[in-house]
Amino acid sequence: FRSLGYEGGATSGGRAFDAETLSSAVRLLRRHRGAGSVHGVDAAVWQGLRARGQEAREALGAPGGPEAAVLDLEL
């Protein structure tokens, strides 16, 4: 869950969006594959979800504005 967290920006919308994205993914997995399907999921799956959530945020945010979704990871 923390890998989806958003620690910067002028608004809290990024964090709320990430939380909803992850919650929705977990609900869908449980509904379609069972409650155990969210345990032991490969990290690549969650990172793929994070990347798709980031793409959605960027598409929804105004470029360069205070609500623009910008994610800077120093790996």
The tens digit of pLDDT for each residue in 2-59 reads 444 455 544 555 677 777 888 888 888 888 887 777 777 788 887 888 888 878 777 7
Statement: residue 66 has pLDDT above 70: no
Distance CA 51, CA 28 (A): 18
Q: How many domains does the chain have?
A: 1
Q: Determine the residue type at 14.
A: G
User: Is there a domain that residue 71 lies in?
Assistant: no
Compute the chain's Rg from CA coordinates: 13
Cα dist from 16 to 42, 62, 73, whole Å:
24, 17, 18
Q: Give me the domain span that covers residue 11.
A: 2-60
72 in any annotated domain:
no
For residue 32, which phi and psi values (nearest 5 degrees)? -95, -20
Tell whether 42 is covered by a domain. yes
pTM of structure: 0.51
Return the pLDDT at 13.
Answer: 57
Note whether residue 65 is domain-resident: no
In a domain, 53, yes or no: yes
Structure tokens at 67: 């609500």
Backbone dihedral region of 64: left (phi > 0), alpha (psi from -120 to 50 degrees) or beta? left
